[in-house]
Amino acid sequence: MKTLADELDAPLAKVLELDRERQVLWLRAGVGWRDGLVGVAHVPADRGSQAGYTLHRDMPIVVTDLERDTRFSGPGLLIEHGVVSGISTLIRAGEVPYGVLGVHTTDLQDFSEDDVTFVDAVAGVLASAVLRRQLEDELLTTIQRLERSDEIRAGFLRATSHELRTPLTVVTGLAATLRRAWHELDEESLRGLLDRMVVNGEHLQRLIEELLDIDRLNAGLVSAVAEPRDLRELVEIVLRQADIGGRALTTRLEPVVAPVDAAKIERVVDNLLTNAVRHTPADASICVEVTTRDDDAVIAVSDDGPGVNLDEPAEIFEPFVQGRERAADPTPGTGLDLTIVRQLTELHGGEATVDSLPEGGTRFEVRLPRSAGGAQLPPSRN
């Protein structure tokens, strides 16, 4: 900017960036402006300002006397700095213009065609730099996405190799025992072996169903039919059927009505309870709440277990992600329960979050809109 201003003997130079709505041009860089204006000052992007007029005409605009120019007025940013003459030109960066480059003087100055060509050339250099930065940002985003895909793939292989192999190994081993020695076993032993086969088969079936559910949710094939329901009643249904392994349970359940798909919200609560049980010791305590906050209904499940240890807490809702403390766990689990929680919550127009508690433990919250207008719910059930 300083080189441009010095070359044209102009005390003021600026780069204005057009916002996404194409309503405002923000002062992103410049010389000669009052302290604190860069990054804060802006001008309208309509034809009423010199920069806006330049944007709409898509050509260099030369102003000899701003006060006498009838094509536009000001704007205030130029008037406040005593601008009299100037040149402005478009910074073209791809199909959508990036913004406007301008140089201004505080006394009358007749700019030559060479001056205009020079300013336009500088704008071209700036446009190339903007395009290069945009491409670098897109490349970085792509690289991060690929790295994340690799992490998820590795997590999938690691988690499912254990989660699938263990019940399959048990079922296969028990079946082999039955085939070899069934005639030597009494009725009680036979029943015990069969019960273990059923438990492991159900575990395997649950994992496969979770994988299929994630695939359907990601493909947009799952919808929700919302009806006004008392969330307290839905949570109580889940609590009556839940197995929390003897852990202490406290509740704070207020009557809160919200438009929800009852079966899907029951599954959200069940998954949160299952996650709390899986990641807390047998002497831990679990608290379940149904409350309101602002215009939302809130379902919360908290515990006093070891808590989560993630650089970004939201990552815990990604499939096959566990806290760092479980990275070396030989039985890491899949993390699909929480992924389903997040996606079913978002299906209702809500948000799922997690926080570590100051006194230790973890709190998962599901916020749901209490009005049908807050949720984007498809009209049919799949």
- Digit-coded pLDDT (tens) for 272-314: 999 899 888 988 999 999 999 988 999 999 999 887 766 666 6
SS3 256: coil
Same domain, 265 and 207: no
Same domain, 231 and 370: yes
Same domain, 202 and 247: no
What number is the average pLDDT over the span 59-65? Answer: 92
Share of the chain above pLDDT 70, in %: 86
Tell me if 131 is assigned to some domain: no
pLDDT score at 85: 92
Domain stop point among 80, 95, 111? 111
What number is the average pLDDT over the span 105-125? Answer: 91
When pLDDT is cut at 50, 70 and 90, the band that residue 169 belongs to is: confident
Examine the pLDDT at 327 and tell me if it is beyond 50: no
Cα–Cα distance measured from residue 55 to residue 57, given in angstroms and rounded to the nearest whole number = 6
Please provide the average confidence, as pLDDT, over all residues in the chain: 83
What number is the average pLDDT over the span 97-106? Answer: 92
Tell me if 145 is assigned to some domain: no
Domain stop point among 194, 218, 242? 218
**Region of poorest pLDDT, from 39-48, 99-108, 195-204, 245-254:** 195-204
What number is the average pLDDT over the span 343-370? Answer: 91
SS3 5: helix
DSSP string covering 72-127 = ----HHHHHTT--EEEEEEEE-SSSEEEEEEEEESS-----HHHHHHHHHHHHHHH
pLDDT score at 352: 94
* Inter-CA distances, 114 with 84, 125, 137, 164, Å: 20, 17, 35, 73
What number is the average pLDDT over the span 370-380? Answer: 52
Examine the pLDDT at 332 and tell me if it is beyond 60: no
The CATH number of whichever domain residue 189 belongs to comes to 1.10.287.130
Same domain, 188 and 237: no
Examine the pLDDT at 44 and tell me if it is beyond 80: yes
Strand partners, 86: 63, 104
Cα–Cα distance measured from residue 338 to residue 347, given in angstroms and rounded to the nearest whole number = 14
pLDDT score at 203: 74
Same domain, 301 and 259: yes
Tell me if 244 is assigned to some domain: yes
Examine the pLDDT at 250 and tell me if it is beyond 50: yes
Tell me if 347 is assigned to some domain: yes
Q: How many domains does the chain have?
A: 3
Same domain, 162 and 248: no
What number is the average pLDDT over the span 96-107? Answer: 91
The more confident residue out of 74 and 63 is 63
Nearest residue to 96 via CA among 15, 16, 14, 20: 20
Show the tokens assigned to 242: 């839940």
When pLDDT is cut at 50, 70 and 90, the band that residue 382 belongs to is: very low
Same domain, 173 and 99: no
Same domain, 311 and 254: yes
Domain stop point among 79, 111, 143? 111
Tell me if 144 is assigned to some domain: no
Same domain, 243 and 370: yes
DSSP string covering 137-198 = HHHHHHHHHHHHHHHHHHHHHHHHHHHHHHHHHHHHHHHHHHHHHGGGS-HHHHHHHHHHHH
The CATH number of whichever domain residue 269 belongs to comes to 3.30.565.10
Same domain, 171 and 251: no
Examine the pLDDT at 343 and tell me if it is beyond 70: yes
List the domain range (segments joined by +) for residue 43.
2-111
- The backbone torsions φ and ψ at residue 364, rounded to the nearest 5 degrees and listed phi first, read -100, 135
- Digit-coded pLDDT (tens) for 75-85: 788 989 999 99
* Inter-CA distances, 107 with 6, 50, 63, Å: 15, 17, 11
Cα–Cα distance measured from residue 201 to residue 167, given in angstroms and rounded to the nearest whole number = 7
Examine the pLDDT at 246 and tell me if it is beyond 90: no
Tell me if 136 is assigned to some domain: no
The CATH number of whichever domain residue 21 belongs to comes to 3.30.450.40
Examine the pLDDT at 159 and tell me if it is beyond 60: no
pLDDT score at 161: 60
Tell me if 362 is assigned to some domain: yes
